[in-house]
Amino acid sequence: MRKNLNLMIKPSSSKCNLKCKYCFYNSISDAREIRDYGFMKEYTIKKILDRVFEYCNGGNCSIAFQGGEPLLIGIDFYKQLMDYIRINNLNGTSFSFALQTNGTLINNEWANFFSENNFLIGISLDGNKDLHNLNRVDHLNNDSFNRVMNGIHTLEKYNVDYNILTVITSALCKKIDSTYNFYKKNNFNYLQFIPCLEPLENSQMNLSSFSITPSQYGDFLINLFDLWYKDALSGKYVSIRFFDNILGLFFNKDYEACEMKGICSCQHIIEGNGEVYPCDFYTYESYSIGNILKNSFDDIHKNSSTLNFINSSKDINDKCKNCAYLNFCRGGCRRHRENQKGNLNYFCESYYKFYSHSLEKFKNVALKIQRDNLRR
């Protein structure tokens, strides 16, 4: 039987050539018994692919590479991966590839490889030069903005599809107008924004100057939405993942983003040593659900740790169950409910304010899209 599978592979583990001041994976790595599992071995990636062939059996497999910085392992790792698939994919499993990078290491060779193999590239960029360089610096505290922009221009030269991932900090909340306009000016039309949060664990990292309050996040979403809405109605559509997912509900689609579904699924995060975790926010030893060198994907799915992780995410606050916006919010991401009183989403206030402001306007955008499609 054909099956589908989504994986996130960390081939460089927690290694990174930048040292961003708010990096959540740094805080996780610091809290583990083993901070860095090293570069993924050739036999490990081959075992992952063998497990994929066995499980998917001609279905679809989506693989995203993340880190750390996944380019640090070197391009030969990815070339060997593609060669192994071409030679050993005997049951016709189809693959799609994405890679999230800080963008500083992209050169012509990388961009040509991404183009030839249809990789979708996510670039971490926090707005214009001044905003980006506030937090996204290297180990010597050197700025990274110019290197990131050079990487983007190289991708464009080779016609590589890419999107922009931006971390919402307290500083960026105050500059959303200029950030949005900067992205438009550079034709960055595929955007994703994620809020910066305090670490789950006791950590030496103090993120209070970066993380945002519910009130700030609610205002941020409304301000960003108003900019987006004006453009959407005038035919200058900018793809913002959060808004795209909400808009899709008006076309009878379900959310694509796992954090918007309200219930966790197993995301198959695979570290450099083959250890598997259910979610990128929970790559601590205590959340391990197996090791790909020992366990098949069927084994992992039946693991009590996997089932407990998923089932525990179904517990939402009674306030959510009676909320007018439950069908849109669904209680939100488990990570945003962690350690909160009554398991209420930390951003409950944000979402209530945002949905109150935006849902009728989303309907207007959906109607415009329908009318535009009928004219074609």
Active site residues: 280
Other Cβ atoms closer than 10 A to 336: 21
Distance of CA 286 to the CA centre of its chain: 22
Q: Are 127 and 88 in contact (CB under 8 A)?
A: no
Candidates 85, 83, 77, 66; CA nearest to 271 is: 66
d(CA 287, CA 297): 16
d(CA 63, CA 119): 10
Q: What is the amino acid identity at position 332?
A: G
Cα dist from 278 to 41, 99, 194, 264, 371, whole Å: 21, 19, 19, 9, 41
Q: Are 98 and 121 in contact (CB under 8 A)?
A: yes
d(CA 22, CA 235): 36
d(CA 197, CA 345): 13
d(CA 359, CA 268): 33
Task: Give the CA radius of gyration of the chain.
Answer: 21
Q: Which class for 13: exposed (0-12), middle (13-18), buried (19 or more C-beta within 10 A)?
A: buried
* Max Cα distance, the chain (Å): 60
Other Cβ atoms closer than 10 A to 165: 18
Pairing of strands 190-195, 269-270: unpaired
Candidates 106, 306, 337; CA nearest to 200 is: 337
d(CA 322, CA 316): 11
Q: How is residue 5 annotated by DSSP?
A: E
Q: What is the amino acid identity at position 125?
A: L
